[in-house]
Amino acid sequence: MSKVDDKKQQKRESLLDSAFQLFIEHGFSKTSISDIVRSAGVAKGTFYLYFKDKFDIRNHLIAHKASQVFQNAYEAMGREQITDFEEQVIFIADHILDQFSVNHSLVLLLSKQLSWGFLKSSVFQAPGSSSSGDTPTILAIFHSLLEQARYSYRNPEIMMYLILELIGGSSYNAILYEQPVPLSELKPYLYQTVRGILRQHRQAPTD
C-alpha cells in the first residue's frame, strides 16, 4: 500500500471515528458535517471525497461497528469450549449485551438496528470496506454454527429475526434507562425467552 493510500485510509478512519463520537455524544441530527470535519482535522471538502453525505457515513459506521461487535463475540466464543447451538446463541447474545453495557454509545448506534433484515443486507456482506474476506462473514458464521448443531431448525431466519428484535429492542431501555429493570435483572427472563424461541423451532436431532 502506497504512502498516499495510507494517508487516505487514515483520513477516512479519522472521519469515521469523529462521526462516531459526535453521533453518540450529541445525536445524529445535531451533528453537522462541519463538526465532523473539524473534529477529524480535515477540510470540509475532504468529507465528500469519502462519503456521499451524513447518512452515508452513518451507514458505514453502523455496518462497521455491528460487524465488530459480532466478531468480538464470535472470537470470545472460540476461546471457550461451547458446542451446543443453544448455548452458543446465548453466549453470543450475552457477550454482545455486555459490550453494550460497558459502551453505551454502541447501544445508541446499534441496538435498534439489530434486526435480521439489516444485518443480512449490510453487515454480513462487507464487514470491512472490501469483502475480501479473511474473517468469515457473520452470515457464514451463523450458517456454519447451524450446520454443526445437534438439532435442525425450522425457519432459522425467522427464528433469528425474532431473537434479534427481542434482544435489540429490549436492551435499549434496560441499558440506557434501567427501565423497566436494569439489564442484569432482565437477562434471565430474556435468555429464558430466547431458549424458548430456539426450542420452538427445533425440528429433530440431527443424528
Taking the complex as a whole, the smallest distance from the CB of residue 44 to a second copy amounts, in Å, to 12
Which of 3, 177, 188, 207 touches DNA by CB under 7 A?
Answer: 3
Nearer to a second copy, 135 or 155 (CB): 155
Alpha carbons within 13 A on the beta-carbon side of 156? 15
Span of 27-35, 121-129, 136-144, 179-187 interacting with DNA by CB under 7 A:
27-35
Which of 17, 21, 39, 54 touches DNA by CB under 7 A?
Answer: 54
Position 179 contacts a second copy (CB under 8 A): yes
Q: Which residue has the cell 459502551?
A: 103
Span of 8-16, 30-38, 76-84, 167-175 interacting with a second copy by CB under 8 A:
167-175
Position 32 contacts DNA (CB under 7 A): yes
**71 binding partner (options a second copy, DNA, none; Cβ < 5 to 8 Å by kind):** none
Taking the complex as a whole, the smallest distance from the CB of residue 121 to DNA amounts, in Å, to 22
Q: State the amino acid at position 59 in one-letter form.
A: N
d(C-alpha 119, C-alpha 134), whole Å: 19
Position 33 contacts DNA (CB under 7 A): yes
Position 84 contacts DNA (CB under 7 A): no
d(C-alpha 46, C-alpha 40), whole Å: 10
- 202 forms beta bridges with 153
d(C-alpha 28, C-alpha 139), whole Å: 28
Span of 14-22, 77-85, 91-99, 166-174 interacting with a second copy by CB under 8 A:
166-174
Position 170 contacts a second copy (CB under 8 A): yes
- The answer to whether the CB of 175 falls within 8 A of the CB of 100 is yes
Contacts of 201 (CB under 8 A, 6+ apart): 153, 154, 155, 156, 158, 159
d(C-alpha 204, C-alpha 152), whole Å: 6
